[in-house]
Amino acid sequence: MLVSDTHLADLESAFARYTAEYDVRTARSRGEATRVAEQVVAEGGTVALFVSDSRLPDDHVLAACHLWRTVVPTARRLVTAHWDYFIEDAPALRQGMAVGKYDAYLLMPRGTRDEEFHNAVTDLLSDWGATVPDPEVVSVKVVSPTNDGLTMAIRDFLDRMGMPSRRYDPDSEGGRYVRAMLPDDATYPMVFANNRPAISATSVRDVARTLFSADDVDIDRVVDLAVIGAGPAGLATAVYGASEGLSVVVVEAEAIGGQAGTSSMIRNYLGFPRGISGMRLAQRARNQALRFGTEFITGREVVGLEPDPAGAAHLVRTDGGDLRARSVVVSTGVSYRKLGVEPLEALVGNGVNYGAAMTAAREMEGYDVFVVGGGNSAGQAAVHLARFARSVTILVRRPGLAETMSDYLVRELEYNPRVSVRPCTQVVDGGGEGRLSWLCLEDTRTGERERVEAQGLFLLLGAVPTCTWLPEEIELDANGFVLTGRDVPQDHWRDGRPPADLATTVPGIFAAGDIRAGSMKRVAAATGEGASVVPLVHAHLAGILQNEPV
């Protein structure tokens, strides 16, 4: 939808290249654009992108963007200014972008091949395409009669791996096509990607191993560096280690990107002024690491780590085989803390979700949903859910969000009419017939309880370390996080000196990212640690080589 009074011809010329794949509509005012959008929605269509002149004849552009959000919540909104007043309009409009009133502010194209402009447009369209309920491009077919917990979990994994999927009923054309590849007694869900055999999946890891890894871990050499966990810290370690000539293997039990990979939009990561989804950031990092020669083992869980007393060949045990590495970086991150309300734990995957659950979010259209948590991940989840749900309520035990959430996100939530915050509140009960339908909320100040209707509950409740498999030689703090550097107890120091900042109590084994005690719990901090650990790995490898016989 192109909206401009005085420069509509310029926009039509710039967007002529999109007419082969998009229905490009035009309007000269906020009112006309709104009427056209409402008609499109009434006819069963949707709007992918509003492109508006920064000056409209009948309303301020920010008010127009706010109205268009209510008409088509999933649409992206681009404000583009003519070069005559781009600089003049920028200060006020960029403040609006900072709090999510629209998605990007650009100068109108000044020529026929302004690829910087079109790069921004295609990024917005790509983000839109990754979040619509029914993607146009389907990489994986998932056949199942219902959206049960496992089916949703598989689709969420595929979303996080950047592989758009669609669920097909068994008797549909797509369902029959996949069923024909499997035995008659195969169970649901069935999963098929064009370059892999169809499988009857019993877990998400079945899908991960089929699509991304061999059946067994088969690395018959000692590698320089094994990275356990492919969140931001692990990916940064892989990129910097492999780019400097190390042989690197990354083992990840679930989806690439860790918790960060579930974020619908990270707006404060350095170098991405329009923001970037956690999935895209993670997949770009994975591709970068692959380019430098990193090997990825996906869908295999590390179940043990046996240090080599000489520090030369640590043994990493997985549920699909073992590998040996001269150095190991533990970057397994954290998982979300459990709510601990048994009736709701029984509904996980059926309206109750830990994390942002991107696929489940798309199923919330027209529903009332609740988000529990006060951190940035909870705020990002609420913003994304508001594209689909009728209402989103953030529940926090504190009096507000300011202490735990970035200011830009707090302001973005305040602006969004579908999002509200309910402070000093906790979930104490809930239930439904096979699927979530209600919650019981308690005021932490008065103890007063209220039962509310709810079709979705998204739990983003702090950090629990995921390293119970680590050997006793590696010291942990009281909460189970890995101790490194000066945090290591003095009785584990060598020659009166603590380990290096990211080194553990075992030579050649390091920790980076959220799993490390005292970490910042931010994506940029995790990637910084992943890069910083590589020089320590080099120093350890150099020491091993000096001690090896000629």
Domain spans in the chain, listed from the N-terminal domain onward: 2-131, 140-199, 222-335+464-547, 342-461
Question: Do residues 215 and 235 touch, judged by C-beta distance below 8 A?
Answer: no
DSSP string, 27-54: ESSHHHHHHHHHHHHHTT---SEEEEES
* CA–CA distance, 88 with 204 (Å, rounded to integer): 52
Residues ≥6 apart with Cβ < 8 Å to 479: 465, 517
- The CATH number assigned to the domain with range 2-131 reads 3.40.50.2300
Q: Parallel, antiparallel, or unpaired for β 321-330 and 314-318?
A: antiparallel
Amino acid identity, residue 257? G
Question: Do residues 462 and 378 touch, judged by C-beta distance below 8 A?
Answer: no
Residue 494: CB atoms within 10 Å = 9
| pLDDT tens for the chain, residues 1 to 550 | 999 999 999 999 999 999 999 999 999 999 999 999 999 999 999 999 999 999 999 999 999 999 999 999 999 999 999 988 888 989 889 888 877 889 999 999 887 788 999 999 999 998 898 777 667 778 899 999 998 889 999 999 999 998 989 999 999 999 999 999 999 999 999 999 988 899 999 999 999 989 987 667 878 899 999 999 999 999 999 999 999 999 999 999 999 999 888 888 888 889 988 888 899 999 999 999 999 999 999 999 999 999 998 878 999 999 989 999 999 999 999 988 999 999 999 999 899 999 877 788 888 988 999 999 999 989 999 999 999 999 999 999 999 999 999 998 999 999 898 999 999 999 999 999 989 999 999 999 999 999 999 999 999 998 889 888 999 999 999 999 999 999 999 988 988 899 999 999 999 999 999 999 999 888 999 999 999 999 999 999 998 866 654 3
pLDDT (tens digit per residue) in 85-94: 888 989 889 8
Prior bond to 189 cis, omega within 30? yes
Query: Buried b vs exposed e over 174-199: b needs ≥16 C-beta within 10 Å?
Result: bbeebbeebeeeeebbbbbbeeeebb
158 phi, psi to nearest 5 deg: -65, -40
Q: Which two tokens stand for residue 367?
A: 């529903």
As separate numbers, helices (DSSP H) first and strands (DSSP E) second, the chain gives 15, 26
Give strand pairing partners of 439. 430, 452
Question: Do residues 311 and 507 touch, judged by C-beta distance below 8 A?
Answer: yes
Residues ≥6 apart with Cβ < 8 Å to 49: 1, 75, 76, 77, 78, 121, 124, 125, 128
Amino acid identity, residue 62? L
- The CATH number assigned to the domain with range 222-335+464-547 reads 3.50.50.60
* CA–CA distance, 280 with 263 (Å, rounded to integer): 10
Question: Do residues 538 and 544 touch, judged by C-beta distance below 8 A?
Answer: no
228 phi, psi to nearest 5 deg: -105, 105
Residue in this structure with the two tokens 């970035």, named with its chain if needed: 406
The number of residues making up the chain comes to 550
Best CATH choice for the domain 342-461 from the list 3.10.129.10, 2.60.40.1220, 3.40.309.10, 3.50.50.60: 3.50.50.60
Cα–Cα separations (whole angstroms), residue 525 to 467, 513, 528: 20, 7, 5
